[in-house]
Amino acid sequence: MGRSSVFDPSRLDEELDELLPPPSRVPVAVLQDEPPTVAEAAGAPTSGSGPVPDSAAPAAADSVEDGPTPDSPDRPPHPAQPAVATATRRPRGSGGRPPAQERAPAESPSNTPAVGGFIVVAARIPTQLWDAVINGPLSGRERPSYAQLITWTCQDQPDDVVRQIRANLAPDRTPRGRRLAAPVNTITVRFRHDELSAFDELIESASIAGQRVTRTAGIIAALQVSSATSTASS
Amino acid sequence: MGLQYAEPIEPVREVRPGLDVIPGGPLLSVLAAAAATTGVSLADNLRETLSDLCAREDYGLVLIDSGPGDATILDALLATARYLVVPSSDDSASLEGVELLATRYLRARKAGAQVELLGVVLFNANIRATTRNQLVLESIDQMLEGSGATRFTSIIRSDKAAAIDLRALSLTPKELVGAAAGARKSRLSALRSGHSPTGERLWSRDPAGLATDYQELSRELLRRIAERERVGV
């Protein structure tokens, strides 16, 4: 599954012309006027098929094979020989996050995927809650990640979070039989190891009579508390 | 005609409130061959006609839905568009298609195009296959390294029944949610009263999930465009 960084502009000087036949037209001139805002989508999401290898470049399509290859951090790997992901890969430039070596090592529980030093926990939360969070505590231009928001809420209002978890898990008359689907949003919460440990500890303490509290329940409760606090303070 | 002869484009107006559509038409498939023989610059024509159209109609956003196969048209679009969104399915052929598109994208930029990659979105995926999706998303992350773009967090789920209904009824996913609920009600009431259900049969039972996916993607897409535009101001 290893893939090379094919969108990396540093490929421009090294390999690009070898991969594609020359363009059918003369090179495009730089736009003189401000172009209209155009988002170009290659392949319709509704069409049921994704980008497929282009018949105009059969040589390139044929040359793409899977398999690890030695990779140097100074030189981007050749797309025909995808490199395996290593610890030396370059940061993806996402929003000022510290480089990988400064982050906590990925020591994740075996059932949770760890990506780049973070432990990713996916949770489905009601769309209404998601809207409240996005328009509440996460509405600023500079905003924390989901994991930070949840961790801070658990640190600042642990009692409220535990109370909310217990309230959510209290027996009610929601039918367990056939139910209509409700709109939900899937969020991926990227915890650091210490954040997840503290979070797991808190949700365990919310358990009553050995009832298991899932991380999803904890995430939903923390976001509800955070969103309610944000509404109350605004 | 707009691409080949730079003739003014006439959109189909108000297919939904605030939305005009320009259908590609069957001649689009032969356009590339015609352009190659006549030496027409599709990019120049497209830029000119699109620029006129936007000035005339005062559009806020133009979305171009292109097929992945036609390289000549794709190059013209890359030379014209401001942003690029790449949908990919979870199979290796799709991911290899993304790699090829990446090469075309970089070459267009090298030639002076202003197109910027907004991200790659995983679609037509089984959202319950979490482990498989995680591997595919990691592959996409690896492909995007060094590009300055990240993948979209939204995933468009696979829903064949909804896809059939959407095409057959020309509805948006959001509209299909209401239509499916209405159809279910009338079907049940017909069965209750001992009659055979009438009217058009819908295959989808609950397209709410798919509609949510698209809404989430739209929100994310618009947010990314707004961020880029803000930076560009």
pLDDT digits (tens, 9 = 90+) for B77-100: 999 999 999 999 999 899 999 999
- Report the C-alpha gap between A34 and B59 in whole angstroms: 14
- List the single residue in A4, A37, A184 with the smallest CB-CB distance to B62: A37
**Which of B59, B117, B73 has its CA nearest to residue A37?**
B59
The percent of residues in chain B predicted with pLDDT above 90, rounded, is 41
Phi-psi region for residue B224, left (φ > 0), alpha (ψ -120 to 50) or beta? alpha
Which of residues A105 and A214 earns the better pLDDT score?
Answer: A214
Which of residues A36 and B96 earns the better pLDDT score?
Answer: B96
Q: Assign A20 a pLDDT band (cuts: 50, 70, 90).
A: low
Does A115 contact B145 at a Cβ distance shorter than 8 Å? no
- Report the C-alpha gap between B109 and A12 in whole angstroms: 9
CA terminus-to-terminus distance, chain B: 34
Residue A37's pLDDT is what? 45
- List the single residue in A10, A66, A122 with the smallest CB-CB distance to B146: A10
Residue A230's pLDDT is what? 81
Count of Cβ atoms closer than 10 Å to residue B207 Cβ? 30
Determine contact: B156 vs chain A, CB below 8 A. yes
**Which of B85, B82, B86 has its CA nearest to residue B96?**
B86
Contact A121, A189 (CB under 8 A): yes
b/e map of B41-59 (b: 16 or more CB within 10 Å)? bbbbbbbbbbbebbeeeeb
Count of Cβ atoms closer than 10 Å to residue A65 Cβ? 10
pLDDT digits (tens, 9 = 90+) for A37-71: 444 444 433 333 334 333 333 333 333 333 333 33
- Report the C-alpha gap between A164 and A222 in whole angstroms: 8
**Which tokens sit at A217?**
């329940």
**Which of A181, A171, A169, A179 has its CA nearest to residue A216?**
A169
Which residues of chain A neighbour B216 with C-beta distances below 8 Å? 185
Contact A97, A195 (CB under 8 A): no
- Average pLDDT of A162-180? 84
Name the pTM for this structure. 0.52
Residue A212's pLDDT is what? 86
Kindly state the DSSP code that residue A117 receives in the 8-state scheme.
T
Q: Assign A108 a pLDDT band (cuts: 50, 70, 90).
A: very low
Supply angle C-alpha A219, A224, A225, rounded to 5: 100
Residue A114's pLDDT is what? 61
- Return all residues near A101 (Cβ < 8 A) that are at least 6 apart: A87
Determine contact: B110 vs chain A, CB below 8 A. yes
What interface predicted TM-score (ipTM) does this complex get? 0.74
| Of the listed ranges A149-153, A155-159, A170-174, the one predicted with least confidence | A170-174
Question: For all residues of chain B together, what is the average pLDDT?
Answer: 86
Which of residues A92 and B227 earns the better pLDDT score?
Answer: B227
Range of A112-121, B110-119, B177-186 with top mean pLDDT:
B110-119
Pick from A4, A28, A145 the residue to mutate for testing the B interface (most B CBs within 10 Å).
A28
- Average pLDDT of A26-32? 38
Question: For all residues of chain A together, what is the average pLDDT?
Answer: 68
pLDDT digits (tens, 9 = 90+) for B142-171: 999 888 899 999 999 999 999 999 988 889
- List the single residue in A23, A37, A79 with the smallest CB-CB distance to B99: A79
